[in-house]
Amino acid sequence: MSEPTATTTPRERYRRQVREEIKQRAREQIAAAGTSALSLNKIAKQMGLSGAGLYRYFTGRDELLAELVRDAYQSLVDAFRAAAGRDEGGLHGLAHALRAWALDDPQRYFLVYGPPVPGYRAPVDLSLKMAEIMSLIISASDADPASSPGASPPASLSAGEDRAPASSTRLALAFWTRLHGILSLELSGHFLGMGFDPAQLYENELDLLSAG
């Protein structure tokens, strides 16, 4: 949430506070029962607002979802930046930050990286946050041994080398897709009862990526 400025009026501060409370109520609904449970009418009743009153703060479900997704992306960007600030900005540091962020709030993770919400179309500006996250991963990949000129590219990218991404970009894409695959299965409960530690599987996959 942005900090009030000296020129912020009481009405503006109140509006900001109400919008933040609406978002918090929405997060609680999503945490309890998933994105499909999001109900603006229920939020309005919890806050003592009429349906029309709530729509003065958010024009509809899609605007509220877009705000929640923006917040989720920003929290991941902040987690990655914090890892870099602790001198943990390499791929291992970002991977650990990603898993901690996902496990801290699985529904927030699925809000961003889960199945599309029926009828919802993300605003175009969210692509800037996606690009920022990928830029941080590519920067970390630049210093990873697996992205060195002598490293072999993944087999799926070997053909047409002149059209393939640079080594650091290939590594960043592999990092992003393969680690998300493990996280999505873990958070969905697909590893339950299989007799292995998902955290160790995640570490093994990260070691394989770093080894090229």
Instruction: Say how far apart CA 137 and CA 97 lie, in whole Å.
Output: 12
Higher pLDDT, 7 or 65: 65
Do 98 and 5 share a domain, yes or no?
Answer: no
- Inform me whether the pLDDT recorded for 20 exceeds 70: yes
Do 85 and 175 share a domain, yes or no?
Answer: yes
Q: How far is CA 105 from CA 31, 82, 128, 132, in A?
A: 8, 18, 23, 21
Residue 167 lies in a domain: yes
Residue among 135, 166, 142 at smallest CA distance from 153: 166
Q: For position 110, what pLDDT does the model report? A: 92
Do 97 and 179 share a domain, yes or no?
Answer: yes
Q: Considering the chain, what is the average pLDDT of its residues?
A: 85
**CATH number of the domain bearing residue 145:** 1.10.357.10
Higher pLDDT, 135 or 160: 135
Instruction: Say how far apart CA 97 and CA 89 lie, in whole Å.
Output: 9
Do 50 and 86 share a domain, yes or no?
Answer: no
Q: For position 114, what pLDDT does the model report? A: 87
Do 118 and 141 share a domain, yes or no?
Answer: yes
Write the pLDDT tens digit of every residue in 115-134: 888 888 888 888 888 999 99
Do 134 and 201 share a domain, yes or no?
Answer: yes
Instruction: State pTM to two decimals.
Output: 0.81
pLDDT bin (cut points 50, 70, 90) of residue 23 is: very high
The range of the structural domain enclosing residue 106 comes to 70-210
